[in-house]
Amino acid sequence: MEFPFDINHLFPERFSILDQTLVAGRKTAGMPHLQANIETVIDELGRASAKAQQLPASITSASKLQSQKHQLYLLKDGESNGGRGVVVGFLKVGYKKLFLLDRQGSHVEAEPLCILDFYIAENLQRYGYGRELFEFMLQHKKLEPVLMAYDRPSPKFLSFLAKHYCLTPSVPQANNFVVFEGFFVNISVAQ
């Protein structure tokens, strides 16, 4: 995904982690012009993700990120676009208190890290970038995929999780979240 400004200037590293402050690196802190460009990137990514998932509205935007305690992992390719860089995609995570049904049909209260949004630019899908970004987040959070919950995963994402992590959906839930076989065995829950 190309932008009319230098992506390498905004995001110095291959992976950036953005939170409520929208600060991607030392250079952008307190620099309104660069902050505005970061907001443009997040809004554009959010729109593209919603379109790809056929959602009526974006679930990721700069203003949403500023008002919620979520983290957005962004992957860039710094060499493309004549050295100005392109944004490859993003992954958004956050903790949510959920009421889930286990195999016995009991309600279990848990607050797992949830995958809330995930998008790789259309022309770059199926080249391994999604896995690279997902792995970076797992290492950063020191987590296994089975310990997380997934908000309304798309067919492509379900296929991704089955292929790379051998995950198969567990008990169907009453909400939009999906947890996988092994979730209830592994997670420590507060009932």
Of positions 11, 90, 150, 183, contacts ligand ACO by CB under 6 A: 150
Does the protein bind ligand ACO through residue 131 (CB under 6 A)? yes
With contacts defined by CB under 6 A, name the span among 37-45, 79-87, 97-105, 110-118 that binds ligand ACO: 110-118
Each residue 48-67 as x (binds ligand ACO by CB under 6 A) or -, in order, gives -x--xx--------------
Residue 60: other Cβ atoms inside 10 A: 23
Does the protein bind ligand ACO through residue 184 (CB under 6 A)? no
Does the protein bind ligand ACO through residue 163 (CB under 6 A)? yes
78-86: Cβ within 8 A, 24+ apart: 78/7, 78/8, 78/14, 81/2, 81/7, 83/8, 84/2, 84/5, 84/6, 84/7, 84/8, 85/6, 85/7, 85/8, 85/11, 86/1, 86/2, 86/7, 86/121
Does the protein bind ligand ACO through residue 95 (CB under 6 A)? no
The footprint of ligand ACO (CB under 6 A) covers 49, 52-53, 115, 117-120, 125-131, 150-154, 156-157, 159-160, 163
